[in-house]
Amino acid sequence: MEKKNIDWGNLGFAYHVTDYRYVSNYKNGAWDEGGLITDDKIVMSEDAGVLQYAQTVFEGLKAYETEDGHIVCFRPDLNAERMEGSAARLEIPVFPKERFIDAVKQVVKANEAWVPPYGSGATLYIRPYSFGISPVIGVKPADEYQFRIFVTPVGPYFKGGAKPIVIKVSDFDRAAPRGTGHIKAGLNYAMSLHAIVTAHDEGYAENVYLDPATRTKIEETGGANTIFVDEDGNLIVPKSESILPSITRRSLVYVAEHYLGLKVTEREVFLDEVGQYPEMGLCGTAAVISPVAKINDHGREIVFRDNQEKMGPVLQKLYDTLTGIQMGRIEAPEGWICRID
Ligand code: PLP
Ligand code: COI
């Protein structure tokens, strides 16, 4: 399979139109058989549920070329399960897990030429999503839906690659208590756009959001969970009902405990305590592990000592082990790697 002629090493996190996408439509109470198409455009009613009341949920995962030249993706079963929960919360019919995994395989296989080569630093980002496509004008769920997956080759999420970033404490809340912070819905990202534009204008790479009820605890950033390393080299992971249950974070907890022998504590983490930790990282499919050099809290700087010039040593070990598993250099736990070819 000949790869596309792309400067893989210089890709940013951006959308490129690739050759095939997977589409299935839901009508009269059932999903149709679905399949691959080449048309990247969608025609829908001006009054579609997604356009009027943001009835849409999505997922994000990646495909990798491994050291020995296979194409794999990472834990797609967990994306399928998370999307079931997201869909149920927004009254979108669930796209069945087995079909979700099969659709991921089909669309990656069809776009094999777009999977970045092993060692290039780039990966193939896979974006499954479901949205209300039929007209609604009173506030209610649509009758018809589309499930779709496209793929796009991507490089690092943050400009500068692995260079530690500076983030700010957002003045806005990302989630409400008992709201939708724990699901992957477009609406959570729409409300973060003004905050991210403001943060970028002020020179920050991202926002970190506090818990909406008390604004004392660290939740997550706009597109990633947070993790901390204490002075003993152990991992501290914020726990909250209103953050997205990151598959990367759940995998890192396992890697920390079972591969690296670290102690992991999952609990509420207060903004006021994090200054004592030498390393902070953002973790997610897009972010992988991105080191945080500083948080700016309204002029007060919280400095992560071991993340100044580059990622600190514990985050680096976690990063090397996780990406080693994803790219076939390190043996994966049972069921984590899904072979595509
Ligand atoms: N939190 C938010 C708000 C996200 O958008 C993402 C990205 O998917 C994550 C966390 C990380 O989740 P995952 O590791 O499953 O990609
Ligand atoms: C992902 O990591 O898959 C995400 O969805 C983050 C995103 C906001 C780009």
Q: What is the CATH number of the domain that holds 64?
A: 3.30.470.10
Atom of ligand 1 nearest to the CA of 250: 14
Q: Do 191 and 318 sit in the same domain of this protein?
A: yes
Tell me if 244 CB under 6 Å of ligand 1. yes
Give the residue from 65, 109, 95, 59 showing the smallest Cα distance to 247. Answer: 59
pLDDT of residue 239: 97
Query: Cβ of 236: how many Cβ atoms within 10 Å?
Result: 20
The band of 17, judged by pLDDT with boundaries at 50, 70 and 90, is very high
How many domains does the chain contain in total? 2
Q: What spacing in Å lies between the alpha carbon of 2 and ligand 1's midpoint? A: 32
Q: Which residue do the tokens 């679905």 mark?
A: 34
Query: Tell me: the pLDDT tens digits for 198-214?
Result: 999 999 999 999 999 99
CA–CA separation, 179 and 240 (whole Å): 12
332 lies in a domain?
A: no
Atom of ligand 2 nearest to the CA of 61: 3
> Between helices 97-110 and 76-89, what is the axis angle to 10°?
120
Q: What spacing in Å lies between the alpha carbon of 243 and ligand 1's midpoint? A: 9
Tell me if 79 CB under 6 Å of ligand 2. no
How far apart, in Å, are the Cα atoms of 254 and each of 181, 231, 247? 23, 20, 11
The band of 1, judged by pLDDT with boundaries at 50, 70 and 90, is confident
* Model confidence at 160: pLDDT above 90: no
228 lies in a domain?
A: yes
2 lies in a domain?
A: no
CA–CA separation, 49 and 133 (whole Å): 6
Q: What spacing in Å lies between the alpha carbon of 182 and ligand 2's midpoint? A: 14
pLDDT of residue 301: 97
Tell me if 284 CB under 6 Å of ligand 2. yes
Regarding pTM above 0.95, the answer is yes
pLDDT of residue 317: 98
Tokens of 295: 């948080």
Q: Do 67 and 207 sit in the same domain of this protein?
A: no
pLDDT of residue 102: 98
Tell me if 286 CB under 6 Å of ligand 2. yes
Which residue range(s) make up the domain with 207?
Answer: 165-326
Tell me if 60 CB under 6 Å of ligand 2. yes
- What is the pairing mode between strands 279-284 and 35-37? unpaired
Q: Do 237 and 308 sit in the same domain of this protein?
A: yes
